[in-house]
A and B are shown apart, each in its own frame.
Chain A
Amino acid sequence: MSRKQSFPVDPATGKPIRGLEQPGYYPGYSTLGQRKRWDETTRGVVVKRAYSTGEVRFFSAEEAALLEAVVERLVPQDDREEERTIPILPVIDERLFKNELNGFRYEDMPPDSEAYHLGLKAIEEMSQKRFKMQFTALPILSQELLLKSPHDGKPDPDNPAWKRMPVHRFWALMMDDCVTAYYSHPWAWDEIGFGGPAYPRAYMRLENGLPEPWEKDESRYEWKAPSDSVSEIDMKNAPPEHSSLHGHGGTH
């Protein structure tokens, strides 16, 4: 089925922002363009990731279509050019297919693979119950309203799956996997202005946020989320903070 899209908007012109080769505020910046300066092992890993398409082996075709539609709302990429879309579903599928663990499981959670089967089934049932339609067929606003309810920790309608696993943990599990896939991709590094690998070459300019010679200065543009989206950050109504919802690696 065709991909549902809705585009962020330039508030000055009211025009949709779409077909961007590189969203974000660092136009012309390319981490992959620096690959010759990286060590061989890192180059191998990152380049392989950048150009791998991946196949779906863990999820059934129905599950994959559903999760694809969910992931497009969890990390929307409608502003990106089609061929510059960062693959997320295949990365989740590969982890579950290979049963790659992250070193622990919450005592109130089933194994990750089972959690995905359960959670996806629940999302589809919630869609059927609330909108009398398949999730994949819903308009984007309905999809987002449906997903916002587990995000808020208040699944609407409730579903037996959330008795078997806390809804906030399932939400965190999906977000964990989605951000890992998206922000491990060098195109996402270009989008956010992250320097990427820097060995053996060093960073020179540590203070004041100054760019290295191969980095770019920031060049911001204004954008509004699509009018049929409810996923902008809303601190006033943010879900309760549950500590230890994810792996916490990479901090201290």
Chain B
Amino acid sequence: MAWFLDGKKDRAHRLGPMQTLPGPMRKFTPTETVDYCIVGVGSAGGVLLQRLARAGFNVVGLEAGPFWDTERDWVSDEKGSHELYWNDLRITGGTHPLALGSNNSGKGVGGGSVHWAAFTPRLHPSDFRIYSEDGVGADWPMYYQDLKPYYELLEREIPVAGPAWFPWGDPHGHPYGPHPLGGVGDVLVKGCTKLGIRTVAGGPVGILSASHGDRPHCIYRGFCLQGCKVGAKASTLITHVPDAITHGAEIRSLSMATRISLRKDGRVDGVLYIDRDGKECFQRARAVIVAGYAIETPRLLLNSACPGFERGLANSSGTVGKYLMAQAGNVVAGRFDGLIRLYKAPPAHALSEEFYETDKSRDFARGFAIQTVGPLPIAFAKQMVAAMGAWGWGLRRVMMDYNHWATLGVLGEILPWKDNSVELAEEKDQYGLRVAKVTFNLHDNDKKLIEFAKNKVMDVMRAAGAEQVVQESRFAHLVGAARMGSNPATSVVDKFGRAHDIPNLFVCDGSILPTQGSANPGLTIQALAARTADYLIKHGEEIFTTSNRDQSEPGIRYDLSPPYTWFKGNPHIG
């Protein structure tokens, strides 16, 4: 039976053309103390809610944005998709200021997974040890092997389409078959092959190449970043949230968390928020999980400063808001004599990780990936403005050749630096909360890496036969700013996302990543969320009542996955 949000009885709340929101959704009474209050229902929050609800906990998710009805709210249109992003004011600065908003910040149930391109590579084993191996960045307080079973499980839950054999990092296959190639993927494969660079095509990407329960497969319309109306591209809105609601989770949309409340005994007891009517409310909880991503998470902790935590909640280390990372995301565009029509097929559909690892023959540590990108007309026009200084008749002319261009993206590892940060600006937002001030500076290793990567991808484009090659410098993704570590003096949370300072406060989202590799972060964020959920479930009441800090792996639970996960496998044919 479909449930009708907002009391509207005329039609069901749609999550894609076939799926409807199950219901009715549970509603906790205002005075009820829940087990977990989760701030932010995005990539991590959606998975956490689903797992914890299935395990029988009383759980509420607060989401600042709307609860999307994909048929009513989403459009196959670039400009019309503006509301998917976190558009509220933030200040951005530093030597290389990050573009925010539509570039990397979602708002609404599903969070960034609504507008991600859905590339789902794993981190490499080396990513967890870059300080030990290269003397740069930081080691993770865990190993690849700890996360591997969660990567495999989430690849089945999403499920990921891609080649049966992915040769880099820890080689692996993907549950669903690869997608057919579009024009841009052809260019990537052709150019790389000419230069002897290995490629994979048709994934790995969180987009269905065959139908999956009540989700149809991809129709190749190219509007992945505008919210997938087809329901083929995975977002937690359609993969995990429906199951969370079936199992008794409550999601309060249009509810902006303003402050986490700390008791005198040093434990948190709930979250203050402004509800959809502008009323200040308090949700009591036995534990709180912050899952607001790399800007809103540190902002909430900093805005929750209180006696005992004057510099920000859980910030005795002073590292809340520090070590923010974005990846180098230079776009290389090449004009071809023949037509490409880059708007067809998912933007994310072919890549190479040949240059991912540190190569001692280069003058920088770590590396980058080469990936397809598929800017639609507005995004492409902006790239031409930036890359070529296009305006006037020159702009009209280059845009008339839109279908002759292919675009490839660098995805390069930028190291964690303490001066790349999220702080509070003096200005306030519509809720009276101080807005985030984001500072981003490139350092020597980053600059060398970007220069090398950019030139390599331009070589690939030329090798593919492009007659004109231009590039635009930019950044993609956001992680860090509340990093995990084993040392409470230099990190915010432990390896399960538990605040070093406060035993019943957790952070679980991209902000806990100590380093980022050259992999798109979405899959890693969801895998970490599933692992944290297993940890919380295993320790049950202890989390709420003790300060015990067991650092052993919880053991993976295979019985908490959403429907349709069973009977899928992770092929391994290499």
Contacts and interface: CB of A to CB of B under 8 A. Distances in A.
Interface string B89-114: 11111001111111101000000000
B329 A206 contact: no
Contacts of A233: 388-390, 394, 397-398
Contact of B105 (A103, A175, A250): A103
A206 to B, nearest CB: 4
Nearest to A194: B377
Given A41-B71, A209-B340, A252-B348, A76 B392 contact: yes
A9 to B, nearest CB: 11
B348 to A, nearest CB: 7
B17 interface: yes
Contacts of A231: 391-395
A201 B395 CA distance: 31
A124 B221 CA distance: 44
Interface stretch (A60-68, A114-122, A126-134, A235-243): A235-243
Contacts of A208: 183, 186, 338-339
Interface stretch (B141-149, B168-176, B275-283, B368-376): B368-376
Contacts of B74: 41
A199 B117 contact: no
Interface stretch (B159-167, B471-479, B487-495, B507-515): B471-479
B77 interface: yes
A183 B389 contact: no
B382 interface: yes
Contacts of B331: 251
Contact of B89 (A105, A151, A189): A105
Interface stretch (B79-87, B257-265, B304-312, B314-322): B79-87
Interface string B341-359: 1011101100000000000
B375 A251 contact: yes
A137 interface: no
Contacts of B293: none
B417 to A, nearest CB: 17
A49 B394 CA distance: 25
Interface stretch (B53-61, B223-231, B459-467): B223-231
Contact of A41 (B75, B186, B220, B341): B75
Interface stretch (B399-407, B538-546, B563-571): B399-407
B425 to A, nearest CB: 9
Contacts of A199: 76, 219, 221, 223, 229-230
A5 interface: no
B2 interface: no
Contact of A180 (B79, B97, B230, B390): B79
Main secondary structure of the interface of A (DSSP, over half): loop
Interface residues of B, number: 98
A49 B77 CA distance: 11
Interface string A1-45: 000000010000000000000011100000000000011011001
B397 A232 contact: yes
B387 interface: yes
B266 interface: no
A247 to B, nearest CB: 5
B368 to A, nearest CB: 13
B82 A183 contact: no
A107 interface: yes
Given A197-B75, A203-B221, A102 B392 contact: no
Contact of A179 (B100, B381, B437): B381
A229 interface: yes
A206 B382 contact: no
Contact of B377 (A46, A101, A189, A235): A189
A191 interface: yes
A184 B75 contact: no
Interface string A165-183: 0000000100110011011
A198 B76 contact: yes
Contacts of B90: 103-105
A39 B181 CA distance: 26
Contact of B389 (A151, A188, A243): A151
A239 to B, nearest CB: 5
B566 to A, nearest CB: 29
Contact of B78 (A76, A239, A241, A250): A250
B398 to A, nearest CB: 6
Contacts of A245: 385-386
A229 B401 CA distance: 20
Interface string A72-109: 01111000000000000000000000001111111110
A9 B400 CA distance: 16
Given A194-B343, A235-B470, 18 more contacts: A39-B71, A39-B75, A75-B396, A103-B86, A104-B438, A107-B97, A152-B389, A184-B378, A192-B399, A192-B402, A196-B76, A198-B222, A210-B339, A232-B392, A233-B390, A247-B99, A248-B379, A249-B379
Interface of B: 17, 71-80, 82, 85-93, 96-103, 105, 117, 119, 180-183, 186, 219-223, 225, 229-230, 329, 331, 338-341, 343-345, 347-348, 371, 373, 375-383, 385-403, 407, 409, 411, 437-438, 470, 472-476, 520
14 contacts: A74-B395, A103-B86, A103-B87, A104-B100, A105-B89, A107-B437, A175-B385, A183-B381, A184-B377, A200-B219, A233-B397, A235-B388, A241-B472, A243-B472
